[in-house]
Amino acid sequence: MIFLTFIITLLHEIISFGISKTKYTKNRREFFKKGLDIGAVSLVLATNAKAMDNARNIELEIVDVKIKNLLAPYKIVQISDVHIGGLIDKEFIKNLVDKINLLGADIVVITGDLVDTKLEYAKPALNELGNISSKYGTYFIVGNHEYFHGVKPIIDYVNSLGIKTLENENVYIGEENKGFYLCGVYDRFGFRYGAFKPDINKALLNTQDFPTVLLAHQPKYINSIEDTKGIDLILCGHTHGGQIFPFNFLVKLEQPYVRGLNVHNEHTLVYVNKGTGFWGPPMRLGASAEITVLKLSS
């Protein structure tokens, strides 16, 4: 709130300075100045209210993705960066699961930063995720925040809910001889953590015969992959789409992609989910929370 107020105040001061340099009469300048003051206060209140409202409302993003050599269509529902803890509680997750279950997903994927508190406090909300329904199951990869709260216990507990954590591995999804491989890697934060490090070679093992979808929390991980020829689609999160404008420009300095569907090269597409929850302040401006529906077809 302080940041948004500062930005609007800065604009107010610039415009106010411009008014003071005009050739209008003193009374006319004061009239414009008073209108500017009222407008700036109104804008501060409206912007902050809108940002808080955006954080509570999750939008549905429907994306058509063409996958070469995919022999049957599939629907993937993606959520990411839920950040369970604080205001993201059991009730929030229950409502989220209800929305997901209306979408008729073939699979549901959770691309990291699911837990952002001690596991014991997150369990009631995590339990609700066990109610997600889809044709071929729910799959999870860790994000950087899981490393801060006990990555192994979180993985074990999520697995106990019937949600499969992909730990540098892959699973076959779909009809026999008409499906695709879903691969997942640990987050690149594992290199700094000293354990649970991503290994793309293990994740892609024996996936040559069918299309491949990779789950990797940070878009930046793609820079670690020497050749993406065997990867048709990468699903990421982490960026929150910037969450609060204009932080999206700062995120762009760190990550190659910030949001949406991106063409990485002739072989590989990258989709970045803007996040389903929020991190830090319960505010979003210029980057709505989302549930993504990816419709895969050939």
pLDDT digits (tens, 9 = 90+) for 129-160: 999 999 999 999 999 999 999 999 999 999 99
Task: Provide, rounded to the nearest whole percent, the portion of the chain with pLDDT above 70.
Answer: 87
Q: 253: which 2 tokens?
A: 């300095």
Average pLDDT score over residue span 208-226: 94
Is the pLDDT confidence value at 38 over 70? Answer: yes
Q: Counting runs of H as helices and runs of E as strands, what totals does the chain give?
A: 8, 12
| 220 or 28, greater pLDDT | 220
Is the pLDDT confidence value at 246 over 90? Answer: no
DSSP strands (E only) in the chain: 58-66, 74-79, 107-111, 138-141, 164-165, 169-173, 180-184, 212-215, 233-236, 260-263, 269-272, 289-297
Mean pLDDT of all residues in the chain?
88
Please report the pLDDT score of residue 231 as a whole number.
95
Q: What radius of gyration, in Å, describes the C-alpha atoms of the chain?
A: 22
Please report the pLDDT score of residue 263 as a whole number.
94
At residue 65, what is the residue type?
A: V
Please report the pLDDT score of residue 287 as a whole number.
72
The pTM of the full predicted model, rounded to 2 decimals, is 0.84
Average pLDDT score over residue span 216-240: 93
CA atoms of 82 and 92, how far apart (whole Å): 10
| b/e code 14-51 from CB counts within 10 Å (16+ = b) | eeeeebeeeeeeeeebeebeeebeeebeebbeebbeeb
Nearest alpha-carbon partner for 60 in 292, 296, 297: 292
Q: How many CB atoms lie within 10 A of CB 141?
A: 31
Average pLDDT score over residue span 75-103: 93
The residue whose two tokens read 């597409």 is 269
At residue 241, what is the residue type?
A: G
Cα 96 to Cα 79, 82, 85, 165, 265, distances in angstroms:
10, 10, 15, 20, 33
